[in-house]
Structure 1
Amino acid sequence: MLLQANGFLLLGALLTALAGVLHFACIFWGARGFQVLGAGEQLVAMAARRHWYPPVVACAIGCVLLLWALLTLSAAGLGPQLALAKWAVLLITLVYLGRALAFPWLKRVIIGNSERFWHLSSLLCLGLATLHGVGLAQVWQAA
């Protein structure tokens, strides 16, 4: 079954799951974890004060990313074949692409994140959009 899976979608799912796990890890690492991953000073300070907001946001993003990984694995041909998984992966691809391309506008609205965060996360989103898009095109072409 693993040999029949789409490699691009499999890698995209694994990297998405890793991103989700890193968001959960921030909850346990605390302020230092948020800082290492490039969160803004305000969010890091809130985490240092043990404010409720940073872990809730990290948990929400982590949950979304793990759901996306599950849907991508399904579209890749692994695990349960979830209804509309391929269409969901198309939307996921568009979200990643939109996030990657919109960072110049987003960083004007979401103040406080480091330049490293914006550039690295945008590059990662572009890479994930590419993996998901190429893999999805292959899966649809094979159908």
Structure 2
Amino acid sequence: MTNGYNMALVIGAGLSLLAALMHVGVIMVGPSWYRLFGAGEHFVRAAQAGRWFPAVVTAGIALVLAAWAAYALSAAGVIAPLPLLRPALIAITLVYLLRGLLGPVALAGTGRSRRFIFVSSTICLVYGLVHLFGLVQVWGSLA
């Protein structure tokens, strides 16, 4: 039995939403989670000092990830079509894939731990592959 939804994109939306919620959690918990999730000492110290920019940047990332989840749900057929659906889904998929593939090079020397770079790059690569799989499946039906 099928519900007509593209399950790869539904899963991709769930993954993006999970990442968005984790970013909200980082804001709520504060400096210890900034450090735990690899934000770098500059952000950790700024959060400890009560500065606003770590929370604003992190909230911005959460909003982008939530929008990406909405676009994946739209392409999956769960919600109404959003504007520029095909180019947006292509861009989202490319960002995840490029972050996954180039993250180890791009983040080297930024003060982030090797563990953070490896784990976050692997997560982004998986997210990108899930989106790519779904995108290929719905390609012909996207406007």
- State the TM-score, normalized to the length of structure 1: 0.90
Tell me which residue corresponds to 2:53: 53
Q: Percent identity?
A: 40
Supply the AA of the counterpart residue of 1:47: A
- Structure 1's unaligned 5+ residue stretches are none
Which runs of 4 or more aligned residues in structure 1 lie more than 3 Å from their structure 2 counterparts after TM superposition? none
Secondary structure of 1:102's counterpart equals: helix
Is structure 2 residue 14 aligned with structure 1 residue 14? yes
Tell me which residue corresponds to 2:134: 135
Alpha-carbon distance in structure 2 between the residues aligned to 1:49 and 1:102: 32
Q: CA deviation at 1:103?
A: 1.5
Alpha-carbon distance in structure 1 between the residues aligned to 2:71 and 2:87: 10
Q: CA deviation at 1:75?
A: 0.4
CA RMSD of aligned residues (A): 1.7
Alpha-carbon distance in structure 2 between the residues aligned to 1:39 and 1:115: 12
Deviations 1:1-43 (A, max 9, x none): x821111100010010110111111111100121221221221
Is structure 2 residue 77 aligned with structure 1 residue 80? no
Supply the AA of the counterpart residue of 1:119: F
Alpha-carbon distance in structure 2 between the residues aligned to 1:64 and 1:44: 22
Is structure 2 residue 98 aligned with structure 1 residue 98? yes
Q: CA deviation at 1:141?
A: 4.9
Supply the AA of the counterpart residue of 2:14: L
Summarize the Cα distance change of 1:97–1:67 in structure 2 as closer, same or farther, 3 Å threshold.
same
Is structure 2 residue 118 aligned with structure 1 residue 119? yes
